[in-house]
């Protein structure tokens, strides 16, 4: 079916806000660990070590409900389930183990603390890991935060990896097991429980309504810092830093707000991401097309119309069993011209972290599965207007997501 885009009066939808944040039941965490231990045994591991730091805490938080603040942390699991999970943390975090929904044995490892904090006779990294049953001949899977193709390549810090390799010796095994949690086809975090999807929906309401408030409140004369306050961030853990730029800096997209005052005609970008949701918008601060900058008068026809057409077809193609290759083809059929500059994956899985993994690439046969939270993330690099970062991610309900138009005022007939 051929669609013809045209400008029309369209109001931004108001999805409303839930009264309370849905909380995950504590029993969900032991159930996740049990599923992971089943995969450990199938892989032949007797221990699994999960690494986390402030920026990359999603795997650990998924399993325990605990995420390290300031510091790093390790979780050690045995494959049988007969031994308690061991949470190894630094000076400022070890006490937080008491609030983890997953029952754990907390161990202080000062080497995970901030630089120059006192050791107080705490064990070294190899001593702490040895006390968890890791020794000569052990087969250990290590969960970092990314897959590097070869399981022999590990991304946690060298002092952790070196200690593990020294403990297991030549008869043991230390290899990456990150795929058990984030593989785009069947990683544990790719398939969400209904309770987790409800929490993500709450997060999506926060970010989409925040950006909606921002769009309604923008006006020339506001500083970037005053504008970002319109998002109404209430302290929920961020999945990425708050982004807002206007004018010349908008071409870089990922920067934080500054003191510059917004001006009529400015290019403008913003992104607001908390655990489970991200909403991003880009456009121009204008009242009508006559205020668009020189060289951007065909902005709607040349960029917005094909972009929205691609996003609409992307959503219409979503279904359980659909392959990532089909989604890739849709976007590149509409936006494959070098003018758009689409090079990154046009869509990916989202969780506590903004990007878990992506099943969307050319020729991908990875099927979308029930329970997946997907984010439309079609990033165009438009040099002739400005570098537009348009990450579309709003109302995520399981696999199928609703969305607000990037640019209000465009519809298809």
DSSP code of residue 375? E
The token pair that represents 36 in the structure block:
């992971």
The pLDDT of residue 384 is 56
Q: Do domains 5-18+190-412 and 46-176 have the same CATH topology?
A: no
Strand partners, 78: 47
Asked whether the beta carbons of 43 and 177 are under 8 A apart, the reply is yes
pLDDT at residue 340, rounded to an integer: 87
pLDDT tens, residue order, the chain (413 aa): 667 777 788 887 787 888 899 999 999 999 999 999 999 999 999 999 999 999 999 999 999 999 999 999 999 999 999 999 999 999 999 999 999 999 999 999 999 999 999 887 889 999 999 999 999 999 999 999 999 989 999 999 999 999 999 999 999 999 999 999 999 999 999 999 999 999 999 999 999 999 999 999 999 999 999 999 999 999 999 999 999 999 989 888 889 999 999 999 999 999 999 999 999 998 899 988 888 888 888 888 888 899 989 999 999 999 999 999 999 999 999 999 988 889 899 999 999 999 999 999 999 999 999 999 999 988 887 655 654 333 333 333 233 322 222 333 444 44
Query: Rounded to whole angstroms, what are the CA distances from 5 to 52, 101, 300?
Result: 46, 50, 10
- 206 phi/psi in degrees, rounded to 5: -60, -50
**What does the alpha-carbon distance between residue 94 and residue 72 come to, in Å, rounded to a whole number?**
11
Q: Quote the pLDDT of residue 1.
A: 62
* pTM score: 0.90
C-alpha–C-alpha distance, residues 60 and 355, integer Å? 15
Residue 162 CB-half CA count within 13 A: 5
The pLDDT of residue 6: 76
pLDDT score of 383: 55
Q: Where do the domains of the chain lie?
A: 5-18+190-412, 46-176
CATH code for residues 46-176? 3.40.350.10
Class of domain 5-18+190-412: alpha beta
């Amino acid at each position: 079916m051929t669609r013809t885009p045209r400008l029309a009066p369209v109001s931004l939808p108001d999805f409303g806000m839930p009264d309370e944040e849905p909380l995950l039941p504590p029993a969900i965490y032991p159930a996740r660990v049990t599923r992971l231990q089943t995969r450990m045994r199938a892989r032949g591991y007797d221990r699994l070590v999960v690494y986390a730091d402030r920026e990359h805490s999603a795997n650990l938080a998924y399993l325990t409900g605990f995420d390290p603040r300031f510091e790093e942390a390790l979780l050690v699991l045995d494959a049988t389930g007969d031994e308690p999970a061991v949470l190894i943390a630094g000076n400022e975090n070890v006490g937080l183990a008491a609030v983890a929904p997953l029952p754990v044995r907390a161990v202080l490892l000062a080497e995970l603390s901030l630089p120059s904090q006192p050791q107080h006779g705490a064990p070294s990294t190899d001593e702490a890991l040895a006390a968890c049953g890791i020794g000569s001949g052990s087969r250990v899977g290590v969960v970092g935060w990314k897959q590097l193709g070869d399981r022999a390549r590990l991304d946690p810090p060298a002092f952790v990896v070196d200690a593990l390799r020294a403990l297991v010796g030549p008869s043991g095994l230390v290899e990456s097991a990150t795929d058990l949690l984030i593989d785009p086809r069947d990683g544990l975090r790719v398939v969400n429980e209904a309770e987790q999807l409800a929490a993500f929906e709450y997060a999506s309401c926060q970010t989409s309504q925040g950006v909606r408030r921002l769009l309604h409140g923008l006006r020339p004369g506001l500083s970037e810092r005053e504008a970002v306050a319109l998002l109404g961030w209430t302290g929920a853990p961020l999945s990425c830093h708050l982004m807002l730029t206007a004018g010349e800096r908008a071409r870089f997209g990922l920067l934080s707000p500054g003191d510059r005052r917004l001006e009529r005609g400015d290019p403008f970008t913003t992104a607001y991401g908390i655990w489970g949701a991200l909403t991003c918008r880009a456009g121009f601060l204008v009242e009508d097309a006559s205020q668009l900058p020189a060289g951007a008068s065909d902005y709607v026809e040349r960029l917005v119309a094909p972009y929205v057409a691609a996003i609409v077809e992307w959503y219409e193609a979503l279904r359980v069993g659909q392959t990532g290759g089909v989604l890739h083809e849709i976007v590149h059929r509409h936006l494959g011209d070098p003018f758009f500059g689409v090079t990154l994956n046009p869509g990916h899985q989202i969780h506590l972290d903004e990007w878990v993994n992506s099943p969307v690439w050319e020729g991908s046969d990875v099927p979308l599965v029930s329970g997946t939270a997907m984010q439309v993330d079609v990033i165009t690099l438009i040099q002739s207007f400005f570098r537009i970062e348009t990450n579309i991610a709003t109302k995520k309900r399981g696999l199928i997501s609703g969305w607000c138009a990037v640019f209000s005022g465009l519809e298809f007939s």
